[in-house]
Amino acid sequence: MQGALEPPAPAKAGPGTRASAVTARDLARATATRRRRSASLKLWAGAVCTLLVVVPVALAQVLPLPGAGDQDLSRRRLAPLTDGHLFGTDQLGRDVLSRVLHGGQVSLTVGVLAVVVSGLIGIVAGAAAGYYGRWVDAVVSRLLEAQMSLPLLMMLLLVVALFGPSVTVITCVIAIAQWPEVARLTRSLVLVEREKPYVAAAQVLGLPRIAILARHVIPNIVRQASLVVLLLLAQAVLLESALSYLGAGPQRPFATWGRIISDGQDYITTSWWLVTLPGLVIVLLVVGVNLLGDGLRDRTRRRTTEGSR
């Protein structure tokens, strides 16, 4: 019988073909198989965690819940699962679940708009720096270094203090704070793409450089760059929540996640749900988005590796 360490014999046609030494168990233990399973597990877990937060937030207006601002002082600080209040009530008798879902609409809106704007700025700036080089690359690189050297949260607080804590200002501030990460990745991807044969062929055909960049180079790297934009969504939500917690977020009547936690921190020893449950919602969304982005990145990387072989 062929030993486990003996290399498999070459396949022969006919009834005398010997069985391969590679068994199904060996294939299951292979590195590629483990990575494929890990990517699938991340995708499923990330999608489930993200949908558990995003779907109720999106349907907050149609769910049978009390208004986010409806007060009832006779029902102050009810524990979760009491009198139909799934997350309990706060110090003013407002339903915590309703406030979390309606506040999530503001937080997610700011986060999504911020990552879309930062993604557009980062892809355009990074692609121009990587493709044109020279002074364009120098200018973009110096801007990246200058912004990344500044303390992020302090810069956000300074800008919000100067221009006011409106939704528009906070969205633009977070977008400007996040574009360097997208630009760095896009620049490195474009540096690789511009050396490929199809770019040289387009140049021989006489296509303008801007047309080559817009029609051929960017479409080939936008999928990988968009994965970074997805991962930045979790960071954008955390930044907005941090600003709201510090009092620099969207002002009332907006009930953002950071303000909900800030309002309930004085009662954390007696009414733990006022801080814990909104915090768990934020954690669930951030973990879900990160797992989803990691899974998509692993799958894209595997397909790229298989396609290059």
pLDDT tens-digit profile of 243-296? 888 877 777 666 788 888 988 888 888 889 999 999 999 999 999 998 888 888
The lowest-confidence range among 144-148, 233-237, 287-291 is 144-148
pLDDT tens-digit profile of 287-306? 999 888 888 887 776 655 55
The lowest-confidence range among 77-86, 156-165, 255-264 is 156-165
For 185-213, give the DSSP string.
Answer: HHHHHHHHHTTSHHHHHHHHTT--HHHHI
Dist. CA 166–CA 296, nearest whole Å: 34
CATH level 2 (architecture), domain 39-307: Orthogonal Bundle (1.10)
pLDDT tens-digit profile of 12-28? 445 555 555 556 555 55
Domain ranges within the chain, ordered by starting residue: 39-307
Task: Give the residue-averaged pLDDT of 218-224.
Answer: 86
For residue 200, what pLDDT band results from cuts at 50, 70 and 90? confident
Residue listed under structure tokens 């969504």: 233
For residue 120, what pLDDT band results from cuts at 50, 70 and 90? very high
Contacts of 126 (CB under 8 A, 6+ apart): 140, 182, 183, 184, 185, 186, 187, 189, 190, 225
Q: Are 46 and 56 in contact (CB under 8 A)?
A: no
* Per-chain mean pLDDT for the chain: 82
pTM to 2 decimal places:
0.79
